[in-house]
Amino acid sequence: MDWLHDTAATTPDAPAVIAGDRVVPYGALDDLATRVAGAVRGAGPLGERVAAWGDGTLRAVAAAWGIPRAGAWAVPLSVTLPAAEAMALTRRAGVRGLWALPSDDDLAGLRPAEPGAHGGPPDPESRFVVFTSGSEREPSGIVLTGTNVAAAVRASRRRLGNGPDDRWLCVLPTSHVGGLSVLWRSAEAGGAVVLEPRFDAGRVAALLRGGEATFASLVPTMLRRVLDAHPGPYEGVRRVLVGGGPADPALLEQALDAGLPVLATYGATETCSQAATVVPGEERASLGTAGRPLEGIDVRIGAGGRIEVKGTPVAIDTIDGPLRVPGDWLPTGDLGRFDAAGRLVVEGRADRVIVTGGVNVHPEAVEAVLAGHPDVSDVRVVGEADPEWGTAVVAEVVAAGPRFDGEAVRAWARDRLPGAAVPKRWRVVPSIGRTDLGKRRA
């Protein structure tokens, strides 16, 4: 039927989800998914689009498997969305029903569905509508099929080597492709998901130090805060994927020195998460890159330096129409290049490039460096009109303490950034809007 059902049939007592003190075996999770399918199937005809409201909970995991088993399209939504924004997304996606429960304990009260012909990945008929982060523009509803997911998960496993004895820490939202991929990869391999309802740096550091998780998926901001909470050493962690935005090579080197085997990765919702990832064993040689393309995903640099992708994991459709013609390349919104060893270097968003004094500056790369200063709690880099430079690089900073010395930070930045990338002006701001993946909002 799907990976969850197959693993439950062979190893029903193996842990599928570890949520705090609660351990849910595969057999029990398979039953809960069947109960969700029963509730969804009883509410409407097959083929409907059903929104699932929740992140980082057992009921969200059960819904990710149960809604496709009902023959419906799953539309996961983040609980951090304002109500009006969530309503707008459901209307755009053509959602006909909302699946939500107030508590994980309510799952047991649902009536199981009779076994059917439908299932989650790798069933090619399964569908997920996953919204992009919306950090720079209106979120896009990407349609991921069971075929996309199956190809992406198997390519990831060939690169990372996760297996049934691994426990993958999931602190990314299960309403986004990063969190969903942890569920899919673990079920396909028969491993466990260590599920956390929210990111807490001290808690994540403790789980990694204590051997409770062998794999983890983090964004750079999360990794920095984990190392701040505990600088190491860490033992027993096999892989830490770091993606969702540029990571300062100095941060990755600090993590490697602490015993965290970090692997920079590049991907998107449209690629079903990973497209390129550092090869294990090449961590230090690959600093500053996103590694090599995964098997089954082609990556090239197209017109204007845009990264383009194609392959079975790459989506074909959105809720608003076709994304690409099957077999064609999909231009991303990112700029990049390949180094001499064939590793992908992601330079930044095409629509955020600042041209200052005739030099291209990528704000994401500047932000990644400035975030490493101890006086900087958060930072956003923007371009503003300037009579001398045409456009000046400006840093908006959330100070880590009561006083912020812009001149001291500027001097520090000069040692780490090209001259044109050093901000000309600094502004202290109270906060910077971010999505629940840590990406800044436009």
pLDDT tens digits, one per residue of 63-79? 999 999 999 999 999 88
pLDDT for the residue numbered 166: 98
Burial class of residue 281 (count of CB atoms within 10 Å of its CB; 0-12, 13-18, 19+):
exposed
pLDDT for the residue numbered 360: 85
- In the chain, the percentage of residues whose pLDDT exceeds 70 is 96
Confidence of residue 115 (pLDDT cuts 50, 70, 90): confident
CB atoms within 10 A of CB 342: 10
pLDDT for the residue numbered 365: 87
pLDDT digits 0-9 by tens, 131-152: 987 655 678 999 999 999 999 9
Instruction: Specify the DSSP element, H or E, that contains 240.
Output: strand 239-242
Is residue 436 a part of any domain in this protein? no
* Statement to judge: residues 26 and 84 lie in one domain: yes
* Statement to judge: residues 332 and 363 lie in one domain: no
pLDDT for the residue numbered 117: 86
CB atoms within 10 A of CB 285: 11
pLDDT digits 0-9 by tens, 150-172: 999 999 999 999 999 999 999 99
pLDDT at 22 over 90: yes
| b/e sequence 320-331, b meaning 16+ C-beta within 10 Å | eeebbeeeebbe
| Mean model confidence pLDDT for the chain | 92
pLDDT at 47 over 80: no
Q: List Cα–Cα distances, 328 to 48, 93, 266, 298, in angstroms.
A: 29, 25, 20, 11
pLDDT digits 0-9 by tens, 349-400: 888 889 888 888 888 889 889 988 999 989 999 999 888 888 999 999 999 8
pLDDT at 233 over 60: yes
Q: What are phi and psi of 348, to 5 degrees?
A: 145, 180
Tell which of 347, 366, 390 closes a domain.
347
pLDDT for the residue numbered 114: 83
pLDDT at 301 over 80: yes
* Statement to judge: residues 267 and 411 lie in one domain: no
Tell which of 315, 347, 379 closes a domain.
347
pTM exceeding 0.85: yes
* Statement to judge: residues 52 and 154 lie in one domain: yes
20 contacts: CB under 8 Å, gap ≥ 6:
none
CATH number at residue 396: 3.30.300.30
* Statement to judge: residues 58 and 168 lie in one domain: yes
Alpha-carbon dihedral sign for residues 145, 147, 150, 151:
negative
pLDDT at 308 over 80: yes
CATH number at residue 110: 3.40.50.12780
- In the chain, the percentage of residues whose pLDDT exceeds 90 is 72
pLDDT for the residue numbered 388: 84
* Statement to judge: residues 265 and 366 lie in one domain: no
Residue with tokens 């040689």: 285
pLDDT for the residue numbered 82: 83
| b/e sequence 387-426, b meaning 16+ C-beta within 10 Å | eebebbbbbbbebeeeebebeebbebbeeebeebbbbbeb
* Statement to judge: residues 212 and 271 lie in one domain: yes
What is the pLDDT averaged over residues 412-437?
86
Tell which of 328, 347, 366 closes a domain.
347
Is-contact 111 66, C-beta < 8 A? no
* Statement to judge: residues 191 and 328 lie in one domain: yes
Print the domain residue range for 394: 353-428
Is residue 441 a part of any domain in this protein? no
pLDDT for the residue numbered 349: 87
Is residue 394 a part of any domain in this protein? yes
Confidence of residue 54 (pLDDT cuts 50, 70, 90): confident
Vertex 78 angle, CA 353 and 293, to 5° = 50
pLDDT at 404 over 80: yes
pLDDT at 420 over 60: yes
Number of domains in the chain: 2
* Statement to judge: residues 234 and 192 lie in one domain: yes
* Statement to judge: residues 382 and 255 lie in one domain: no
pLDDT for the residue numbered 246: 84
Is residue 408 a part of any domain in this protein? yes
* Statement to judge: residues 90 and 108 lie in one domain: yes
pLDDT for the residue numbered 439: 61
pLDDT at 438 over 80: no
Confidence of residue 100 (pLDDT cuts 50, 70, 90): confident
What is the pLDDT averaged over residues 29-48?
85
Is residue 76 a part of any domain in this protein? yes
What is the pLDDT averaged over residues 12-39?
96
- Paired tokens of 407: 């001149």
What is the pLDDT averaged over residues 46-55?
85
Confidence of residue 46 (pLDDT cuts 50, 70, 90): low
Rounded Cα distance, 312 and 279, in Å: 21
Is residue 442 a part of any domain in this protein? no
| Cis-peptide, bond into residue 76, ω within 30° of zero | no
Confidence of residue 298 (pLDDT cuts 50, 70, 90): very high
* Statement to judge: residues 372 and 304 lie in one domain: no
396 contacts: CB under 8 Å, gap ≥ 6:
379, 380, 381, 382, 427, 428, 429, 432
